[in-house]
Amino acid sequence: TAGITQAPTSQILAAGRSMTLRCTQDMRHNAMYWYRQDLGLGLRLIHYSNTAGTTGKGEVPDGYSVSRANTDDFPLTLASAVPSQTSVYFCASSDLGSPEGTDTQYFGPGTRLTVL
Amino acid sequence: QKEVEQDPGPLSVPEGAIVSLNCTYSNSAFQYFMWYRQYSRKGPELLMYTYSSGNKEDGRFTAQVDKSSKYISLFIRDSQPSDSATYLCAMSVRNDMRFGAGTRLTVKP
């Protein structure tokens, strides 16, 4: 089982350009998440989706947008990148309402983005 | 004040040592408490989770939760070089999860 895949692995992007980070999961989890990880700040939630067709804002949503057209895919778009968006981006998924009740999140391998 | 506080380290121990990693938190609504391990340039992977207060043991790892003190711990016995990683605590109410900044651990042979 692949779990969660993310693409690209890394990217260098010029400021002002747009980019979409891809995330696909094969666990049929209903919830998906995007985080950014910065040194000293830990993981911060950007956007989330509890089910296909719905999305919500996390702690740091500005400058990012998401869509959830189906269960498996949850792309993150930067419409006009800025240097402060240089970070490592992680996609995660969880099974909301799982029997054990933990809603434990499982993470992808990450995308390293540098905005110059 | 951050919702979750975690000493970033770095922490360096000799092989075979007992390691203690800790987090404190401020939101008493948190119900689930997790520890993730993250190797360099990899995504976090779930190590252990506990519900409410108490202890949970899994091999060399023991997780403790003290909700009255808003304090959680992860103990690693007989630490190995392969345990060298960053350890993230996390806690949640349903899928609203908050993470600590992570503690970087190095176990030296």
Q: Which residues of B touch A106 (CB under 8 A)?
A: 46
Which of the four pLDDT bands, split at 50, 70 and 90, describes residue B8?
Answer: confident
How many other C-beta atoms can be found within 10 angstroms of the C-beta atom of residue B68?
8
Strand pairing category for B4-6 and B19-25:
antiparallel
Cβ distance A50 to B46 less than 8 Å, yes or no, reads no
pLDDT surpassing 70 at residue A99: no
Which of the four pLDDT bands, split at 50, 70 and 90, describes residue A101?
Answer: low
pLDDT surpassing 70 at residue A98: no
Span of A52-66, A90-104, B61-75 with lowest mean pLDDT: A90-104
pLDDT given for residue A105 in this prediction: 87
CA distance A105 to B97: 9
SS3 A81: coil
What phi and psi values does residue B76 have, to the nearest 5 degrees?
A: -120, 120
- What percentage of chain A carries pLDDT values higher than 70? 92
Min Cα–Cα distance to chain B from A103, Å: 6
pLDDT given for residue B31 in this prediction: 87
- What percentage of chain A carries pLDDT values higher than 90? 84
Side chain identity, residue A18: S
Higher pLDDT, B1 or B48: B48
Q: Does B40 touch chain A (CB under 8 A)?
A: no
Strand pairing category for A64-66 and A42-49:
unpaired
Span of A96-100, B70-74, B78-82 with lowest mean pLDDT: A96-100
pLDDT surpassing 80 at residue A2: no
- Please compute the mean of the pLDDT values over residues A69-80 and round it to a whole number: 97
Q: Using CB atoms, pick whichever of A43, A96, A102 lies closest to residue B99.
A: A43
Query: Which of A21, A37, A47 best probes binding to B when mutated, by most B CB atoms within 10 angstroms?
Result: A37
If you average pLDDT over every residue of chain A, what do you get? 92
pLDDT given for residue B94 in this prediction: 72
- Please compute the mean of the pLDDT values over residues A64-92 and round it to a whole number: 97
Cβ distance A110 to B51 less than 8 Å, yes or no, reads no
Token reading at A86: 């240089």
CA distance A68 to A70: 6
Min Cα–Cα distance to chain B from A17, Å: 25
pLDDT surpassing 70 at residue B78: yes
How many cross-chain Cβ pairs, A to B, lie less than 8 Å apart? 53
CA distance A104 to B27: 19
